[in-house]
A = this chain, B = another copy of it.
Amino acid sequence: MSELVLTDQERARAGARLVTLLDRYERDLPGSRVLPEPDRAQLATLLADSVPEKGIGVDGLFDRIEDVILPNSTTVAHSRFLAYVLGPPNGVAAYAEAVAATINQNCNFWQLSPAASVVERSVLEWLTSIVGFPSTAKGILTGGGSLATLQALATALEDRVPGFRRTGLQQSAHPLVVYTSVEAHRSVDKAAAILGIGLDHIRHIAVDDQNRMDVAALSAAIDADREAGLRPWCVVATCGTVATGSVDPMDAIADLCQEQELWLHVDGAYGGLFLLCEEMRDLMGGAARADSISLDPHKLLFAPLEAGCLLVRDGTTLRAAYAFESSYLTVTEDPLMTDYMDYGPQLSRNFKALKVWSALQAFGVDAFRAATRRTLELSQQFARGIEATAGLTLLAPVTLTAICFAVEGASHDEHTELLETLAADNTALLGPVMINGRHGIRACITNHRTTTEDIDLILARLREPNLLRR
């Protein structure tokens, strides 16, 4: 037998250890530390001991995971983990990932993964319906929002730059320009840099007093670039900016893109999936007019990392950007199955769709809608609490679930200290933020476990005298 397979006995042992670990992890959550202090000496042994010649076996592995890995990991599933945009995995995440790892389907072309191909399509068609794209849309699950944005921009290049695949960007008489707002996620800059567009060809458009892209300023920037002999090419609008959750004016931007013949990509990594809730359609329904949209099921669908998504209105343009011939693969199109290697930069791909699909099946859309709606309500509760507290100020309107606030008169260092204090006494893990040059604190309730009691607890702590060590 292969030396890399478990015996029946070892497999039984591994199963028992896993079940115990998962159960204990869940039961210990309420009393766990949201941000444990890492034991650096212990972690350093991971480097010093490095990789053993002889294996330590199943029990040795689980011991090591429980003794070294778990205590030195953040408790993302804690109900007061409210930093960045990262949530606790849903309840079937571990099981779905274990199955995916076992069957190890390669989601490159369908013959190697028939069920996976249809499951991914099912998830993508459902996401398409949520954002209101037409049935001509196609998409692909990605390694997250940053890669989805990069893949969208590469699609826009192939679609809008004549001869792009053959000559690339290397013979641009009129350099392309991409527009986004000053509040956009840095992944837009990063993608544009990686793709050879260059930061000199990105315009960061000013925002209005609600942190939304200023469409008049966008229009003026486009005009100025055309006059300068550059070629306006693409606008990246944000549906839920990472700092404040603001939503760019989708319809006005879509009108302008149509008039100016620009590709419109909507970065919906944080906010797009709030479209699960009917009441958000007025605010962000215009995202359906985009040429492409990125979403992150590993945020609001609480899939474990990584599960990003790119949807493109005209699916043929997505395929045109990524389909390549290859001498050792023979593939044909199929009415039911999809060869996802023709829709993105990867050849070998794992079965990301299983964890998304499994959770939707097990819990149903209703449960996700309810959880999402609750995060919106808790955010309003948090915002009202901040507003009602002397000495605290909201730094921005709370549109979605990001609550940005400052302690009046506190410096950047004092805010940093406060964040550390709140984490150290296990009040909550919140994050730093800077808005219009003002430093502050940001809570983001991308957490289906957070309760009104959690918010009350945090607010009570924020109202204590001598909150700042000064």
B-binding segment of A90-98, A247-255, A287-295, A456-464: A90-98
B114 touches A38 (CB 8 A): yes
Cβ–Cβ < 8 Å partners of A304 in chain B: 100-102, 104, 350
A324 touches B189 (CB 8 A): yes
B306 touches A73 (CB 8 A): no
* In the bound complex, CA of A201 to CA of B123 (Å): 38
* In the bound complex, CA of A314 to CA of B53 (Å): 28
Size bin of chain A's contact surface: 35 or more
A93 touches B102 (CB 8 A): yes
Chain B's nearest CB lies how many Å from the CB of A354?
7
A347 touches B100 (CB 8 A): no
* In the bound complex, CA of A25 to CA of B98 (Å): 12
**Interface members, chain A 94-120 (any B CB < 8 Å):** 94-106, 111-116, 118-119
- Is A77 interfacial (CB-CB < 8 Å)? yes
Cβ-defined partner of A167 (8 Å) among B165, B198, B364? B198
- Is A191 interfacial (CB-CB < 8 Å)? yes
Please encode chain A, from 206 to 248, with 1 for each CB lying within 8 Å of some chain B CB and 0 for all others: 0000000000000000000000000000000000001100000
Cβ–Cβ < 8 Å partners of A193 in chain B: 164-165, 168, 324
Chain B's nearest CB lies how many Å from the CB of A372?
10
Cβ–Cβ < 8 Å partners of A118 in chain B: 43-44, 46-47, 72
A sample of 25 inter-chain contacts (CB < 8 A) reads A2-B449, A5-B90, A5-B91, A21-B102, A44-B118, A51-B126, A51-B357, A55-B362, A65-B358, A70-B103, A73-B116, A84-B106, A84-B112, A86-B348, A96-B101, A143-B346, A166-B198, A168-B175, A169-B198, A170-B176, A170-B201, A186-B324, A194-B345, A328-B432, A328-B434
* In the bound complex, CA of A103 to CA of B24 (Å): 12
Please encode chain A, from 142 to 177, with 1 for each CB lying within 8 Å of some chain B CB and 0 for all others: 011111001000100100000011111111100110
Chain A interface main SS type: helix
A442 touches B328 (CB 8 A): yes
* In the bound complex, CA of A27 to CA of B8 (Å): 9
Q: Which of A10, A18, A72 has the most CB of B within 10 A?
A: A18
Cβ-defined partner of A168 (8 Å) among B2, B44, B46, B198? B198
* In the bound complex, CA of A371 to CA of B71 (Å): 33
* In the bound complex, CA of A43 to CA of B121 (Å): 11
- Is A52 interfacial (CB-CB < 8 Å)? yes
- Is A445 interfacial (CB-CB < 8 Å)? no
**Interface members, chain A 319-341 (any B CB < 8 Å):** 321-322, 324-330, 336-337
Cβ-defined partner of A69 (8 Å) among B115, B172, B201, B362? B115
